[in-house]
């Protein structure tokens, strides 16, 4: 707690390792709650470092930098899952780390995550550790082609998941010095995501189940709630995620991506604010960013209820022209209801640089997907 002289309210300081857009939006929530907020940024130009009043520039792979960052923080949390496990263990000796190293391990080691989930009896795609092409083809003999190869941690060329149609394609992935495991390729009807928060004293809150619309493995749209999902199945998904949060002793947010194949299979986990939860800024009583802060500070959680019948979030990707701001004029004039979030990131083609949100009621004729998609596309490219 910073106990300020002269009667300023003593408030705790939350340190967030990483200074991307998730930290940037968490910074906004911290200002509202009036709590201290500090980021560990790789560079002063990082998305959150541009807007945060308390920035330390350092390297999250350096034990010294991470420990120096934690000094003066009451709680340390993360906007990514890449802090090395040994550093997390060292951190835990000096400060409250939320989520803790034991929980974070399941976001850092995807094979460990699969094994833990399988041990809990959670439905997942079939998987197997593989270290040779022979093992991949043996796996495919049971599960069929294509086979999905996933990096256990990290990846190469900015990717960690490869859908291999043939043994040749699998061999090409195996040729890289990255440990992978094999996973059954799932033909799903759609992808869903569930976001929950859990606090150290064990309170949990879960948001409505959303549908995520991905292209080439990248989230483009989020529909909240997932249209047409039976309440019984939504509750099943929410219960699963609340149970996982408790089982894995998550503190803070837990986002779970699911394949909907008629039944629900767990695809991925994250323990931080998540792209599938950006709709909550305007669309829920409590944004995921405020909720994460409340959870890691062990404050009572806020209501996760949606405030509109339907909310649609669309990501904005960089196009050929970095002049995104100049396109505000058209987007704002065309739709005074669209909420724009720009992250201050360098514009590179295909890079996520912002998002837009619209809320409304499809029963009243609101064309929310069209409106969000149009705004996001125009911001990216200047084309209607």
For residue 160, state whether it binds its own copies (rule: CB under 8 A): no
The footprint of its own copies on residues 197-236 (CB under 8 A) is 205
Give yes or no for a contact between 219 and 276, defined as CB atoms under 8 angstroms apart: yes
**From 113, 311, 359, 368, residue interacting with its own copies (rule: CB under 8 A):** 359
CB of 224 to its own copies, least distance (A): 15
Nearer to its own copies, 118 or 303 (CB): 303
Nearer to its own copies, 234 or 299 (CB): 299
- List residues bridging with 13 in a β-sheet: 36
- List residues bridging with 100 in a β-sheet: none
Nearer to its own copies, 110 or 355 (CB): 355
Letters for 292-331 (x = contact with its own copies by CB under 8 A, - = none) are --x----xxxxx-x-xx---------x---xxxxx-xx--
Nearer to its own copies, 25 or 113 (CB): 25
| CA R_g for the chain | 21
Place of tokens 């705004």: 375
For residue 13, state whether it binds its own copies (rule: CB under 8 A): no
Report the residue count for the chain: 384
Peptide bond into 190 cis (omega under 30): no
Total residues at interface with its own copies (CB under 8 A) = 63
330-339, Cβ contacts within 8 angstroms, sequence gap of 24 or more: 330/378, 331/356, 331/375, 331/378, 331/379, 334/374, 334/375, 334/378, 335/371, 335/374, 335/375, 337/371, 338/371, 338/372, 338/375, 339/281, 339/282
CB of 135 to its own copies, least distance (A): 43
Peptide bond into 225 cis (omega under 30): yes
Place of tokens 């959680």: 301
For residue 337, state whether it binds its own copies (rule: CB under 8 A): yes
For residue 94, state whether it binds its own copies (rule: CB under 8 A): no
Alpha-helix residue ranges (DSSP H) falling in 34-151: 63-70, 85-92, 101-108, 110-119, 133-143
Nearer to its own copies, 37 or 162 (CB): 37
Candidates 26-34, 93-101, 114-122, 369-377: pick the segment binding its own copies (CB under 8 A). Answer: 26-34
CA 69/CA 38 separation, integer angstroms: 9
- List residues bridging with 192 in a β-sheet: 211, 258
Candidates 10-18, 113-121, 124-132, 243-251: pick the segment binding its own copies (CB under 8 A). Answer: 10-18
List contacts with its own copies (CB under 8 A): 1, 4, 6-12, 24-25, 27-28, 30-35, 45, 49-53, 55, 205, 285-286, 294, 299-303, 305, 307-308, 318, 322-326, 328-329, 332-333, 336-337, 339-348, 353-354, 359
């Amino acid at each position: 707690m910073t106990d300020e002289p002269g009667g300023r309210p003593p408030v705790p300081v939350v340190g967030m390792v990483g200074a991307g857009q998730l930290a940037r939006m968490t910074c906004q929530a911290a200002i509202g709650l009036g709590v201290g907020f500090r980021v560990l940024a790789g560079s002063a130009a990082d998305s959150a470092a541009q807007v945060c009043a308390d920035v330390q520039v350092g390297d999250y792979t350096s034990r010294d930098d991470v420990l120096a960052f934690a000094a003066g923080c009451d709680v340390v949390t993360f906007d990514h899952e890449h802090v090395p496990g040994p550093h997390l263990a060292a951190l835990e000796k000096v400060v409250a780390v939320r989520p803790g190293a034991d929980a974070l391990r399941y976001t850092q080691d995807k094979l460990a995550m699969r094994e833990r989930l399988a041990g809990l009896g959670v439905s997942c795609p079939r998987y197997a550790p593989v270290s040779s092409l022979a093992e991949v083809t043996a796996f495919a003999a049971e599960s069929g082609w294509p086979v999905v190869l996933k990096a256990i941690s990290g990846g190469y060329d900015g990717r960690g998941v490869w859908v291999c149609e043939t043994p040749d394609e699998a061999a090409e992935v195996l040729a890289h010095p990255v440990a992978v495991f094999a996973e059954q390729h799932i033909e799903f009807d759609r992808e869903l995501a569930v976001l929950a928060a859990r606090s150290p004293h064990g309170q949990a809150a879960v948001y409505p189940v959303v549908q995520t619309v991905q292209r080439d493995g990248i989230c483009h749209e989020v529909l909240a709630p997932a249209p047409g999902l039976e309440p019984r199945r939504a509750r099943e998904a929410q219960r699963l995620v609340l149970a996982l949060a408790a089982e894995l002793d998550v503190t803070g947010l837990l986002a779970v991506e699911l394949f909907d194949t008629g039944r629900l299979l767990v695809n991925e986990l994250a323990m931080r604010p998540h792209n599938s939860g950006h709709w909550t800024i305007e669309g829920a009583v409590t944004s995921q960013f405020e909720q994460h802060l409340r959870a890691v500070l062990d404050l009572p959680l806020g209501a996760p209820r949606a405030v509109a019948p339907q909310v649609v979030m669309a990501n904005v990707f960089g196009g050929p022209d970095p002049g995104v701001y100049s396109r505000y004029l058209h987007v704002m004039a065309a739709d005074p209801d669209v909420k724009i979030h720009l992250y201050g990131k360098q514009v590179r083609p295909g890079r996520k640089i912002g998002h837009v949100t619209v809320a409304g009621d499809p029963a009243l004729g609101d064309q929310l997907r069209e409106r969000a998609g149009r705004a996001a596309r125009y911001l990216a490219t200047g084309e209607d």
